[in-house]
Structure 1
Amino acid sequence: MSREAEIEPIFARGDRLIAVHAEDQARILQRRQEFKGITDPAIHSQIQDETAALNATKLALKLSQKYQRRLHILHLSTGIEAEFLRENKPSWVTAEVTPQHLLLNTEAYEKIGTLAQMNPPLRSPENNQILWQALLDGVIDFIATDHAPHTLEEKAKGYPNSPSGMPGVETSLPLMLTQAMAGKCSVSQVSSWMGTKPAEAYKIPNKGLIKTGYDADLVLVDLDNYRPVLREDLQTKCGWSPFEGWNLTGWPIITIVGGNIVYERGKLNTEVRGKALQFGKN
């Protein structure tokens, strides 16, 4: 939906958190017609351009402020959105960014084609730097993955028939810890962005901290060694990553869910299962 009249009743009624994928659908549909017939996947970032993202973020924030409604902006992708939020974001609004939007940009289309296609799209390199600074400054609150594990067969259909999205869960922590080891941020910041802050934003009880009474959901990582992202090593069923070949550290060695070891040095214990999360009211 793009029309304010359609969206406003959602903000006007209820009190639960509203999480938005902020893109102006009307503008996108118009630009699809303008660029119709172009099969280069790089056009995706022009069709779903920065203005489409900013328009939707501005509208969501306007309605959030009007009704004092808790708002979360999913996978922020542009510098202009980040700078708009820097000046206008109230305390009850949060935002997230993906490692893809921090570390990849439009140059990826030339290297990996439709594997770089996602929504919102990858942006220019300049946006990477602005998003990083917004994350470091707290304008963006935490990291998310927007995990969309489309298969290689689906991605091979060619643009615009190829689906948007890429796998992100498995590589997210090593990607961010590699940035920490390179001095871009700290390990404690990564822990906060990927553990504490999401739990706080969604009011998930007993998560996000190592603390008496909290669930023992922990991951132990190796920060001494690096290894490349290889398709054959991935657990995701889609079997690929846009970061293939990247040399990363911080790979999980042991993963503990609810006090039980579910993963240890390459071996999964499929008998261990987590529990459905509970979300408090915002």
Structure 2
Amino acid sequence: MWNVPYIGNCYLVKSNVFDKLKFDHKSFDPDMAMCEHLRDAGVFMYIINTKTYGHLVNDEDFNLKNTRPDFYTFFTNQRDWEQRYIHPDYAEQFNPNFTHKQPCPDVYWIPIVTEKFCKDLVAIMEAYGKWSDGSNHDKRLDGGYEAVPTRDIHMNQVGLEKFWLKFLQKYVRPLQELIFVGYFHNPPRAIMNFVVRYKPDEQPSLRPHHDSSTYTVNIALNRAGIDFEGGGCRFIRYNCSIRATEMGWMLLHPGRLTHFHEGLQTTKGIRYIMVSFVDP
């Protein structure tokens, strides 16, 4: 515990010093004035870092016009955001004894976000509703052409691009460096960040392709066997398929050259995934 000359924002005050609280001063703002008056009266202030008494929420960017407004508060209320949206097993993965699941060669299966994250992101995308038409012509891209198109919405269309790039840097990059030893790129660069929707009567699958990435992030946003049937990903060179994806878990795999893959057919319901092509 430290005796300090100035504290801002939040205080615990004994009732017997209320009469010594004054906030007027010709030179200082109210909280600095209060600190000055207390020091002059012989009342000392302390801070402690071994106990949490609570915290204030910054509501400056809490916009009720946003679908699921809590999702947009990452930069101003990161502590609350992490409690809501980061998977409770995330930190355990940095334990030296932790073994990551590897369902296919160099394909890692990683708990990354909560079910609330997934539900909120899907709700944001569906409320926006402007899914691409699945054709090769895409005016959102430089050059206007997509070689392997999906029905998708980009994160920048819903005001979440800046957040997502920070998410990649803060939560994905440390795992990538742990798993793909020797590859460092901070911050990660990603210009393709999007949510894909697979439906039997719309776009049920995706043809074999390489991703334009050094590594790819693929997060399952809903429940296989409950919200949809079929689906999954097949890595063709290894004849290895991942079908029973887990909501909130991320597939992390190399992009170019080695991991030629396809999206398997969704036969019922709607399947949602969050995809990033990192370091193209």
If asked which structure has higher relative contact order (CA below 8 Å, sep 6+), I would say 2
Tell me which interval the TM-score lies in, with the shorter structure as reference length. Answer: under 0.3
Computing the radius of gyration from Cα coordinates, the structure with the larger value is: 2
Q: Normalising by the residue count of structure 2, what TM-score does the alignment of the two structures yield?
A: 0.26
Bigger fraction of residues in helix: 1
Give the TM-score taking structure 1 as reference length.
0.26
